[in-house]
């Protein structure tokens, strides 16, 4: 049934309509559920009529059980469609579903009685099959004398046990079922014992294979220095690739967690790959360098100059070892250059593909990761994460667990139990229909339906988008002065010579702490950021944090003063501050970006929202903690509210206010990475790029730079707070 869309209208008109449309959609979903259940029940009834084998009835019964379970889960829907309260019940209702399930149950019961003899033969045949199979596997296992034979027998053992897990309900009623389970456990124990007895042979064979592979790697290493033509390089890399494929294919057999020798082999093949790649690149670079020098062979002086430049710019054996010894002899140098040019031209080195060689080298370099990711398939239980014997034991335990489970009694394929089980289906549907309102209330959490929420969110989102389209330009115009100030402040810092900036940082640290140690440490922290090439991103971050802190102080301190003066204001503002501190920062990025787009201004607003609560709270707290005696003394001298605030309350609250300043700075700095997601440059942007591209070094360096900057801000702001306290006590020079 088609549902009309929500019309575009005012949000106050949209929300009621959205709720009505959502209610209609939910009713339609409930009706669809009833109709699907009816169709499924009728379909299963037809399948029962067409069934010719008892095993088919077992499958149909399982599907019917799923249908009834689903109906019980939707008891509220069945109850709603059982009366006349819902007009859609006139189309299809719960009573129709109950009648359909009764027909299905009756058909299943009749068919089971007709095919019960077939059950006995099917169960007996299955029991005999698995009994003979287990016996055959046990005999084969007893005769196994090699670890390779044990590995080959694993497939048969695991396949049989997996099938047996599913067939336990069918064979459980057989007289020898318990004995069969005991033989399964005995088979598992035999596999474990055989694996332990063959572990020495297995390890020795693996070590022999590893020694042989190491010998092949060493032989290819010796061949690296002899490479000189494209044909030789190509053939060599094909051999390296083939050997790497062989070693990689052994990942399941050579567990890197079991054999230390494997680690040596991996290191050996990695060294071969590095050496081969380096040699090939050296030949390619040599070919290119000599080709550039070929045109200068007629001018020995120019050739010598170009050769010296090439030697300083690159490290190529053709330049350093074959041409540089003749740098002072122009004629010999020209002759040698001509010889090399002819030699390289005949070697076809220009046909080599650096990308193809790098691909092979990368593949070899990932062998260790490939080994670690493989599940060990060896037969040795020692050291393996999950050996063959462990898996056989796990399967045997699963077979026994299913056999012992009481749930199997209800899902047994025995005709008597099956008939009783199927006969309960109509009663369960009837029980779901007659579920009490109290039970539904207690077992279903009270919540606004998902459809209502979805439609309501659509109304709100549409209204906000309309607001953005209507007033977005005006809002951006309002923030243009702020953006201009931010850009101007950043340009000022960028134009400042770095020694002046370091001295400014040191002066601020000295002004607050009067400590050479703090001043020098702050300057060294900023200098270290510059050394690693992050000067400009650091200044962008300093600009953002400084301007954000200034805005937070300009708004937060007056708000804290207002809260300290009015309990009503405090009761209103405190929950807002709680929301600002606890709501995920990504959430308020959405409206900020929708209003202001991508750039510095929305990033600054987001940082301010996140960093403002501490200064507001601590300003309020500091003023409220001022001693009453001091306030009474001010009142005794006839001080006005403004005089009392500026001369008594704020000076005495400065330690708390500076603690708020410190926390505001730290929280603003912690937002730089998140702000980078909406286009804010600075130290956070490389961290975001490092996370996206898995660049560990970039992420670590920029992360440590943020830490260093945070330490500088923290120490300087704390030093000012400490100095304020010393001024109050008179303990300052």
Taking the model in full, what pTM does it have?
Answer: 0.56
Residue 237 has pLDDT above 50, yes or no: yes
pLDDT digits (tens, 9 = 90+) for 563-584: 998 899 999 999 999 888 888 8
Q: Which of the residue ranges 61-70, 95-104, 454-463, 478-487 would you say has the lowest mean pLDDT?
A: 454-463
Name the percent of the chain lying above pLDDT 90. Answer: 7
Range 340-360 average pLDDT = 71
Q: What pLDDT shows up at residue 132? A: 92
Residue 88 has pLDDT above 80, yes or no: no
Q: What pLDDT shows up at residue 407? A: 46
Name the percent of the chain lying above pLDDT 70. Answer: 82
Backbone angles phi, psi at 36, to 5 degrees: -65, -40
Q: What pLDDT shows up at residue 14? A: 59
Average pLDDT over the chain, rounded to whole?
Answer: 79
Residue 617 has pLDDT above 90, yes or no: yes
Range 243-255 average pLDDT = 72
Q: Which helix (H) or strand (E) holds 150?
A: helix 147-171
Q: What pLDDT shows up at residue 613? A: 92
Residue 380 has pLDDT above 60, yes or no: no
CA nearest to 330, candidates 369, 367, 303, 358: 303
Q: Which of the residue ranges 75-79, 137-141, 236-240, 510-514 would you say has the lowest mean pLDDT?
A: 75-79
Range 318-340 average pLDDT = 79
Q: What pLDDT shows up at residue 572? A: 92
Q: Which of the residue ranges 335-349, 399-413, 547-561, 576-590 would you say has the lowest mean pLDDT?
A: 399-413
Residue 664 has pLDDT above 70, yes or no: yes
Give the other-Cβ count within 10 Å of 65's Cβ: 17
pLDDT band at 166 (very low <50, low <70, confident <90, very high): confident
Cβ neighbors of 721 (< 8 A, separation 6 or more) are 654, 655, 658, 659, 661, 662
Residue 554 has pLDDT above 90, yes or no: yes
Residue 696 has pLDDT above 50, yes or no: yes
Q: Which of the residue ranges 34-48, 328-342, 546-560 would you say has the lowest mean pLDDT?
A: 328-342
- CB-based contact 268:214 (threshold 8 Å): yes
Give the other-Cβ count within 10 Å of 52's Cβ: 9
Range 556-561 average pLDDT = 93
Cα(394)–Cα(663) distance, integer angstroms: 55
| Residue of higher predicted confidence among 428 and 512 | 428
pLDDT digits (tens, 9 = 90+) for 434-490: 776 666 565 555 555 555 666 666 767 777 777 777 777 777 788 888 888 888 888
Q: What pLDDT shows up at residue 406? A: 44
Q: What pLDDT shows up at residue 6? A: 42
Q: What pLDDT shows up at residue 714? A: 85
CA nearest to 543, candidates 675, 697, 691, 656: 675
- CB-based contact 375:387 (threshold 8 Å): no
Range 534-559 average pLDDT = 90
Backbone angles phi, psi at 228, to 5 degrees: -145, -15
Say if residue 12 is exposed, middle or buried (CB neighbours under 10 Å; 0-12, 13-18, 19+).
exposed
- Give Cα 637 to chain centroid, integer Å: 65
Residue 69 has pLDDT above 60, yes or no: yes
Give the other-Cβ count within 10 Å of 597's Cβ: 14
Range 355-370 average pLDDT = 64
Cα(293)–Cα(316) distance, integer angstroms: 14
Cα(373)–Cα(601) distance, integer angstroms: 46
Cα(552)–Cα(666) distance, integer angstroms: 12
Residue 703 has pLDDT above 90, yes or no: no
Q: Which of the residue ranges 57-66, 193-202, 598-607 would you say has the lowest mean pLDDT?
A: 193-202
pLDDT band at 556 (very low <50, low <70, confident <90, very high): very high
SS3 of 188, please?
helix
């Amino acid at each position: 049934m088609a549902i009309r869309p929500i019309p575009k209208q005012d949000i106050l008109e949209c929300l009621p309509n959205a709720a009505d449309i959502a209610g209609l959609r939910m009713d339609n979903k409930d009706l669809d559920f009833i109709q699907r259940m009816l169709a499924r029940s009728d379909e299963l009834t037809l399948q029962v009529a067409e069934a010719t084998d008892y095993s088919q009835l077992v499958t149909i019964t399982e599907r019917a059980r799923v249908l009834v379970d689903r109906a019980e889960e939707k008891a509220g829907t069945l109850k709603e469609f059982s009366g006349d309260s819902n007009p859609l019940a006139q189309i299809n209702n719960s009573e129709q579903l109950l009648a359909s399930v009764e027909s299905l149950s009756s058909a299943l019961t009749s068919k089971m009685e007709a095919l019960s003899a077939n059950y006995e033969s099917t169960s007996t045949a299955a029991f005999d099959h698995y009994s003979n199979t287990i016996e055959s596997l046990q005999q084969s296992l007893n005769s196994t004398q090699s670890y390779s034979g044990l590995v080959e027998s694993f497939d048969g053992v695991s396949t049989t046990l997996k099938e047996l897990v599913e067939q336990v309900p069918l064979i459980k009623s057989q007289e020898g079922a318990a004995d069969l389970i005991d033989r399964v456990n005995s088979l598992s124990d035999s596999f474990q014992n055989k694996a332990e007895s063959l572990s020495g042979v297995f390890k020795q064979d693996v070590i022999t294979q590893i020694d042989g592979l190491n010998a092949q790697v060493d032989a290819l290493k010796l061949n690296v220095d002899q490479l000189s033509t494209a044909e030789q390089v190509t053939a060599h890399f094909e051999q390296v690739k083939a050997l790497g494929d062989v070693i990689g294919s052994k990942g399941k057999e050579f567990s890197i967690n079991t054999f230390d020798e494997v680690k040596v082999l991996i290191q050996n093949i990695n060294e071969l790959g590095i050496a081969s790649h380096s040699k090939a690149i050296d030949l390619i670079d040599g070919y290119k360098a000599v080709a550039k020098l070929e045109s200068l062979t007629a001018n020995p002086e120019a050739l010598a100059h170009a050769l010296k430049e090439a030697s300083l710019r690159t490290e190529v054996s053709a330049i350093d070892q074959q041409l540089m010894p003749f740098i002072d002899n122009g004629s010999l140098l020209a002759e040698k250059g001509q010889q090399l040019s002819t030699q390289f031209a005949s070697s076809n080195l220009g046909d080599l593909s650096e990308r193809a060689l790098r691909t092979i080298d990368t593949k070899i370099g990932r062998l260790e990761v490939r080994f670690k990711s493989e599940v060990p398939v060896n037969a040795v239980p020692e050291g393996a994460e999950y050996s063959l014997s462990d898996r056989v034991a796990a399967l045997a335990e699963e077979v026994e667990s299913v056999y012992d489970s009481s749930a199997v009694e209800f899902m047994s394929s025995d005709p008597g139990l099956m008939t009783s089980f199927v006969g309960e289906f109509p009663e369960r549907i009837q029980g779901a229909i007659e579920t009490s309102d109290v039970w539904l209330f207690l077992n279903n959490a009270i919540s606004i339906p998902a459809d209502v929420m979805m439609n309501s969110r659509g109304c709100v989102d549409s209204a906000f988008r309309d607001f953005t389209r209507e007033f977005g330009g005006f809002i951006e115009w309002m923030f243009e002065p702020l953006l201009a100030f931010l850009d101007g402040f950043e340009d000022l810092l960028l134009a400042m010579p770095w020694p002046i900036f370091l001295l400014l940082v040191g002066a601020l640290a000295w002004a607050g702490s009067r400590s050479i140690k703090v001043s020098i440490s702050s300057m060294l922290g900023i200098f270290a950021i510059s050394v690693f090439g992050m000067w400009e991103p650091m200044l962008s971050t300093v600009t953002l944090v400084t301007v954000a802190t200034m805005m937070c102080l300009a708004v937060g301190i007056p708000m804290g003063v207002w809260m300290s003066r009015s309990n009503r204001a405090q009761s209103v503002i405190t929950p807002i501050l709680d929301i600002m501190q606890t709501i995920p920062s990504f959430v308020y990025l959405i409206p900020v970006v929708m209003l202001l787009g991508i750039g510095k201004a929305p990033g600054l607003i987001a940082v301010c929202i996140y960093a403002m609560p501490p200064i507001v709270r601590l300003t309020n707290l500091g003023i409220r903690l001022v001693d009453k005696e001091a306030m009474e003394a001010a009142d005794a001298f006839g001080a006005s509210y403004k005089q009392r605030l500026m001369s008594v309350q704020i000076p005495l609250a400065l330690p708390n206010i500076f603690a708020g300043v410190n926390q505001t700075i730290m929280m603003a700095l912690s937002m730089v990475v998140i702000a980078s997601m909406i286009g804010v440059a600075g130290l956070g942007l490389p961290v975001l790029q490092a996370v996206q591209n898995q660049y560990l070094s970039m992420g670590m360096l920029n992360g440590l730079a943020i830490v260093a900057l945070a330490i500088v801000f923290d120490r300087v702001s704390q030093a000012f707070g400490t100095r304020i306290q010393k001024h109050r006590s008179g303990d300052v020079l």
